[in-house]
Structure 1
Amino acid sequence: MPAVTVLSGFSPAATHAVARGLLADDQRLILIRHDLTGVRDGIVHRIVRTAGEVLEDERVTLVHGCVSCTLREDVLPTLVRLARAHPDRDQVLMLPEAVEPEAVAAATGWCLIDGAPVTDHVRFASYTTVVDAGRVLDDLTTTDSLRDRALHAADDDHREVADIVARQIEYADTVVMWGFGEMSLPVLLHRLAPWATHVPAAGFRPEARHRPGTPGVLVRGIEGYAVGVHEPVPDCGVVSMLFQARRPFHAGRLNDALNTIVRPTLRGRGHLWLANRPDTAIAWDSAAGGLSMGSLGRWLAALPEERWEEASEGRRLAATVEWDPYYGDRGNQLAFVGMELDAADLHRRLAACLLTDDELAAGEDTWKTWSDPFAGCLRVGENPVRD
């Protein structure tokens, strides 16, 4: 079964350079890439090549012009078709700069080709992100959106550049650094993706590092995985910290403090709970001064035990290990990374947003009557993991 290395990165020059190096090292590799410049008009340009020849160079018309449609209608079928035609040749799938590797991994879980899962035909060996050392810091700190750079995949694509770059790095099992940058960059990359293998471009060779059962970054905590590392002492100026607490946040105080929590950090991720929404696990996803929060579904503590089977085995195990007689599996687990970040001050700001002893003693019936600054933003889902 052919192995597929999924190659992502926000710098096309860097990703192309690494892809060319892989082809030069292994003449039997097949490289697949898609140009999405015309995707909003329903046109995708597909190029398939080896080191020595172009196998395909076609423009494909899609029924709907979007990234998920491209994955379903052309990218994944192409991998399967090539695997059938060349069963002894591994593949490198090079993603366009604005495509997140987690989207590809998710699509492989639900997209069927000729009635069978994609993984019946190819083995996804690695999700590798290429980082351009000369520009990644600018991309992680910019407030630009994809629309600002004419990279949006659809009219309703409002994603931010910093979000995309952070997610590409975080989802990777292998991070490849191309070129030269600030002395702090290797430390920063390790803090953003402590679970990944980090290698220079010159030493990169595809290896099978992907673990299909690993959850997405925002649900790592509730699935029993680490969301980051606690290194509050600056290393080349880089600081990372973990904030963990069982009692809930006061929605009003948290809302008032958002700017002072988000702006000093490059990246924040994890989950939390709000007192006035005691049944809902909430995702925290911040980058470059921007923040999004959304429902991850219900806490197991809010579900009858017979519905626990709807959650993954890993989540049930994590909940059992960490179960609290009062809070159940509810809790806050947030990771932050920043440059010259005052970890102690950030911890104090977050802790000040938690319920006081008197507020905690008032109980859930009282909490639910408090005003909700996040009304309309967080929908309560029925699925215990995802809406």
Structure 2
Amino acid sequence: PSHSVLSSCVIQDERPFHPQRLWDIYHHHMGTGVYRSKGFFWLPGRDDLALLWNQAAGSISLAFISYWKSGVLEHTDNHLTAEERQALQQQLATSSGRFGDRHCHLTVIGEKAEIEAFATVLRQCFLTEDEIIWWKTGGIFADPWPSTVVHLKGHGTL
């Protein structure tokens, strides 16, 4: 009998995920050998929200966990005082990221071959440079994820 090798992989990137590609990957590429994945990420169009990705076996939940400081500052209706705005700007000045404090960080655990395949397609979900330019100039991406906190069970591969 063959023994599966348990492995883990960390996916980190400062770019946001493309909402439709991420939806498609989740529904069509997450095999049964991906036992657990967890972390946080962001999406264009929801660029002020830090979202929690929490997957175990065949279910996933996405939850709002916090606001990115960068996103709060970019919104004109944030009701910040001048002092609060300055404090946030000072905190962000120490962040080296291209998108301020926003970034994606997911840990995937499962059978080695399956998590490597899943990680490969997941990395293809990040916005490309052309998509970033398009988004920064007002482009809007299709976003099939529910707008409220959600828990999804099952997907195409199970």
Q: TM (normalized to structure 2)?
A: 0.72
Task: Say which SS state the counterpart of residue 274 (structure 1) adopts.
Answer: coil
Aligned to 2:42: 273
Moved over 2 A (4+): 261-264, 307-310, 319-323, 339-344, 363-367, 375-379
In structure 2, list runs of 5 or more residues that go unmatched: 74-82, 151-158
- What is the aligned residue count? 137
- Quote the Cα distance in structure 1 between the aligned partners of 2:117 and 2:86: 38
> Which amino acid letter does the alignment assign opposite residue 253 of structure 1?
R
How far the C-alpha of 1:277 sits from its partner, in A, is: 1.2
- The one-letter code of the counterpart of 1:306 is E
Structure 2 counterpart of 1:255: 23
| Contact 1:278 1:364 survives alignment (8 Å) | no
The 1:276/1:261 distance shift into structure 2, 3 A limit, reads farther
Provide Cα deviations, 1:274-328, integer angstroms capped at 9, x if missing partner: 1221111110000012100011121011224716879xxxxx97x665432x310
Once the 2 structures are TM-superposed, how far is the Cα of residue 242 of structure 1 from its aligned partner?
Answer: 0.3
Residue number in structure 2 paired with 1:329 = 101
Which residue number corresponds to residue 5 of structure 2?
237
Identity %: 28
User: 1:349 and 2:121 equivalent?
Assistant: yes
Residue aligned with 2:62, SS: strand
Q: What SS class does the counterpart of residue 366 from structure 1 fall into? A: coil
Distance 1:278 1:359 in 2: 15
Q: What are the equivalent positions in structure 2 for 1:182-201 lying under 5 Å apart?
A: none
Distance 1:308 1:237, change over 3 A: farther
Q: Is contact 1:243-1:347 (8 Å) kept?
A: yes
Change (3 A) 1:372 1:378: farther
Pairwise CA distance, 1:253 = 0.7
Larger Rg: 1
TM-score, structure 1 as length reference: 0.32
Of 84, 87, 90, the residue aligned with 1:306 is: 84
Measured after TM superposition, the shift of residue 365 of structure 1 is 5.2
- Specify whether residues 322 and 262 from structure 1 end up closer, same or farther in structure 2 by C-alpha distance, changes over 3 A only: farther
Aligned-pair CA distance for 1:362: 1.2
Whole-angstrom distance in 1 between the partners of 2:34 and 2:93: 32
Paired AA for residue 376 in structure 1: S
Higher relative contact order (CA 8 A, sep 6+): 2
Contact 1:238/1:341 (<8 A) preserved: no
Q: Give how far 1:348 is off.
A: 1.4
**Partners in 1 of 2:46 and 2:103 — Cα distance?**
12
- State how far apart, in whole Å, the 1-side matches of 2:31 and 2:44 are: 21
